[in-house]
Structure 1
Amino acid sequence: MIEIGIIGGAGYTAGELIRLMIHHPKISIKNIISKSHTGEFIHFVHQDLLGETKIKNIKFIRNLKNEKIDIVFLCSGHGQSIKELKNISENIKVIDLSQDFRIKIQSIFNNRNFVYGLPELQKETIRISNNIANPGCFATAILLAILPLAKNQLLKKNIHISAITGSTGSGRKLSDTNHFSWRNNNISAYKIFTHQHLQEIKQTIHQIQNNFDSKIYFVPYRGNFSRGIITTLYTHSVLSLEKNKEIYEEYYTNHPFVKISDINIDIKQVINTNKCILYLIKEKDQLIVISIIDNLIKGASGQAIQNMNLMFNLDETCGLRLKSIRF
């Protein structure tokens, strides 16, 4: 069994990791660590886990250098992972769910070299890596809509993107914009053209199509629902819709979690799954790609487990064969 540690065990992503891992046939959760909820019962912090796990208490262990753990998941939030790494043995593999190591210039810390953990981009590299920077949720939904075009050197003009995410994308800590009375029956744009995930999106595009020099215009929205992301992207294309579909189908042939739909899609199709579903439309010279994911699973915890499966030479779908909650 793979021995697991989770640091930052009280947040939404950690809660989803625990929920998925307790049913994973190859995993044993050894430590769940949280500074803010030390000593509390797991099912008090994550109430959906009542009766689901024998793990009782959240711990606070300052130093993991002597712990017999195979891999640690860092869920403490942005800016915290560097602090946590100082207390983790270099022999322990790490998957970081923050944005701290996603950008190449920031991907090396001490003797750890972090690999960008988008399996549909570089599955074989992930297999031989010990340190993974899990992609951002918006970045995952957007890049999966772009990768086949970039791979075929087809990005020639500006890319326009709008995307809306549920309130869990803001994390568990309460703020003005995820408070129920503000979020309910409401919607708003934020960080227009400046969202932090743009850095990893641009970096990834240039990795596979280095001659791309057009603009990316991204408008993110806060939605009045709990979880899920729907992204609409459009860009210039001289190819027919049928040819574009062929390109997407071919690219994702060996990637089990990305599906191409022939009919319009909606967020409920992916909630509680590690899937990304894409829907392509062609209007005159514009290719439109709609992309949907669950921001907490394919956009965070599920993708982290997918990466872990690859790192330990397991079937990447292990523990992730999940059906959506449609109704």
Structure 2
Amino acid sequence: MKIRVGIAGGAGYTAGELIRILLGHPNAELSWILSGSHAGQPISKVHTDLLGDTTLSFSEEPDFYSVDVVFLCMGHGKSAAFVNDNAIPGNVKIIDLSHDYRLDAPDNDFVYGLPEMSRDKIKKASRVANPGCFATAIQLALLPLAAANLLNEVHVHAITGSTGAGQAPSSTTHFSWRNSNISIYKAFEHQHLKEIGQSLRRLMPGFDKALNFVPLRGDFTRGILASVYLDCNLSIDEARQMFDDYYADAPFTVRSDQDIDLKQVVNTNKCLLYLAKYEGKLHITSIIDNLTKGASGQAVQNMNLMFGLDEKAGLYLKPSAF
């Protein structure tokens, strides 16, 4: 079985990562990759690491009748405009990597694509909204507690690499500013807070405590480390067992008995979790690669579920361990 794939918005970091994964996917075949600014140019001219891996060039117009699924790797607001402006056949599945369809709304028929929470719904879906990168790391640290109705006020400090800001250069992404530097941004106001809260309340409807989130920019390129803590009466053994039980069928989310570091997950679709107890507080460390489990890898994981494939297909990726 070959899934014919189209990608809209093919020049950015998430699209580049998606192309790399799909080129190695045993059940996927790239049909076209749209880019208005690079139409007609070889893919490898923009994603230079793909030189020798594909002869495809960027397309200017989509051909929806030549694909089974379309990935939307477009800026926030642009995905919804693309869906509204194009007559996409009903048999073509859509996976959106932007923020446009993550939040519930009366006219939103997209399923929120966090497999560890919504695997069965994703399998039946024709349209999936891929979660945000910070949202993925933080939710995976909290879902077992929410499912057990054990959430209290939550405190999160999380740091992300420069690729999380996208490919377009800005004052906080160029090398001379980012190198040997760290800073806080959007403290307590980050846009992913809404989708995190939405998911937690699906599992724990009465949750009304504060979710305190302080995001940081790191001086590295890829990855997210989230440090999460809250008051919890469980013993450390009880907490570990709860997480093991909740993620027993989750192939990419793994609890570690040893402290974890970011290089263990960079370039993989894994989320690693480490739990520790300090008096009455449970501390959870959650690490992912923002471009794979936080974006393109999770999008392929969702594609696999939507088409009845092995959830891990195409996602046996080697970490950058050193």
Give the TM bin, normalised by the shorter chain: over 0.9
Structure 2 equivalent of residue 73 of structure 1: 71
- Verify the 8 A CA contact 2:156 2:212 in the aligned structure 1: yes
Contact 1:240–1:282 (Cα < 8 Å) also in 2: yes
TM-score by length of 2: 0.97
Is contact 1:130-1:311 (8 Å) kept?
yes
Distance in 2 of aligned mates of 1:267 and 1:148: 22
Amino acid aligned to 2:71: F
* 3-state SS, counterpart of residue 105 of structure 1: coil
Equivalence for 1:227: 222
Deviations 1:210-249 (A, max 9, x none): 0111101000000000000000000010010010000000
Could you tell me which residue of structure 2 aligns to residue 197 of structure 1?
192
- Residue 24 of structure 1 corresponds to 25
Give the match for residue 279 of structure 1: 274
Separation in 1, partners of 2:183, 2:106: 31
2:182 aligned partner: 187
Match of 1:131 in 2: 127
Moved over 6 A (4+): none
User: 1:141·1:276 contact (CA, 8 Å) conserved in 2?
Assistant: yes
Aligned partner letter, 1:292: I
Write the letter of the residue equivalent to 2:3.
I
| Residues 1:161 and 2:156 are matched in the alignment | yes
The one-letter amino acid of 2:33's match is: I
The Cα shift of 1:14 comes to: 0.4
CA separation in 1, counterparts of 2:75 and 2:90? 21
Shift of 1:174: 0.6
Shift in Å at residue 106 of structure 1?
6.8
- Counterpart of 1:116 (choices 112, 117, 131) is 112
User: Are the counterparts in 2 of residues 9 and 15 from structure 1 also a CA contact under 8 Å?
Assistant: yes
Task: Tell me which amino acid in the other structure corresponds to 1:33.
Answer: L
Counterpart CA distance in 2 for 1:19 and 1:135 is 20
Query: How far apart, CA to CA, are the structure 2 residues paired with 1:99 and 1:14?
Result: 15
With normalisation by structure 1, the TM-score equals 0.96
Relative to 1, partners in 2 of residues 1:107 and 1:190: Cα closer, same or farther, differing over 3 Å?
farther
- Does structure 2 conserve the Cα–Cα contact (< 8 Å) formed by 1:107 and 1:115? no
Change (3 A) 1:243 1:165: same
| Aligned counterparts, 1:1-327, within 5 A | 1-55=2-56, 57-61=57-61, 64-65=63-64, 67-85=65-83, 86-87=85-86, 88-105=88-105, 108=108, 113-155=109-151, 157-327=152-322
Q: In the TM superposition, what is the alpha-carbon distance from 1:325 to its structure 2 partner?
A: 1.2
**Which moves more between the two structures, 272-281 or 84-93?**
84-93
How far off its partner does 1:184 sit?
0.5
Looking at structure 1, the residues matched to 278 and 63 of structure 2 have their Cα atoms a distance apart, in angstroms, of 55
Q: Which amino acid aligns with 1:68?
A: S
Check conservation: 2:153, 2:230, Cα contact below 8 A. yes
Q: Distance in 1 between matches of 2:60 and 2:194?
A: 33
Could you list the per-position Cα deviations for residues 160-217 of structure 1 after superposition, in whole angstroms to 9, with x for gaps in the alignment?
Answer: 0000000000000111111111100100000000000000000000000001111010
Unmatched tracts of structure 1, length 5 or more = none
- Alpha-carbon deviation of 1:142? 0.2
C-alpha deviation, 1:84, in angstroms: 1.0
> Residue 310 of structure 2: SS of its match in structure 1?
coil
For 1:259 and 1:313, locate their aligned partners in 2 and report how far apart those are by CA, in whole Å. Answer: 23
Q: Distance in 1 between matches of 2:55 and 2:306?
A: 26
Instruction: For residue 91 of structure 1, report the CA deviation from its aligned partner.
Output: 2.5
Distance in 1, Cα, partners of 2:266 & 2:177:
23
1:107–1:114 Cα contact (<8 Å) kept = no
Does the CA contact (< 8 Å) of 1:273 and 1:322 recur in 2? yes
SS of equivalent residue, structure 1 residue 81: helix
Partners of 2:164 and 2:217 lie apart in 1 by: 9
Measured after TM superposition, the shift of residue 36 of structure 1 is 1.3
Q: Is the 8 A contact 2:41 2:58 kept in 1?
A: yes
Segments of structure 2 that go 5 or more residues without pairing to the other structure are: none
Percent identical pairs in the alignment equals 53
Amino acid at match of 1:4: V
Where 1:173 maps in the other structure, the secondary structure is coil
Rounded to whole Å, the distance in 2 between the matches of 1:75 and 1:261 is 32
SS in 2 for 1:245: helix
Letter aligned with residue 120 of structure 1? E
**Equivalent-residue separation in structure 2 for 1:174 and 1:106 (angstroms):** 36
SS of equivalent to 1:224: coil
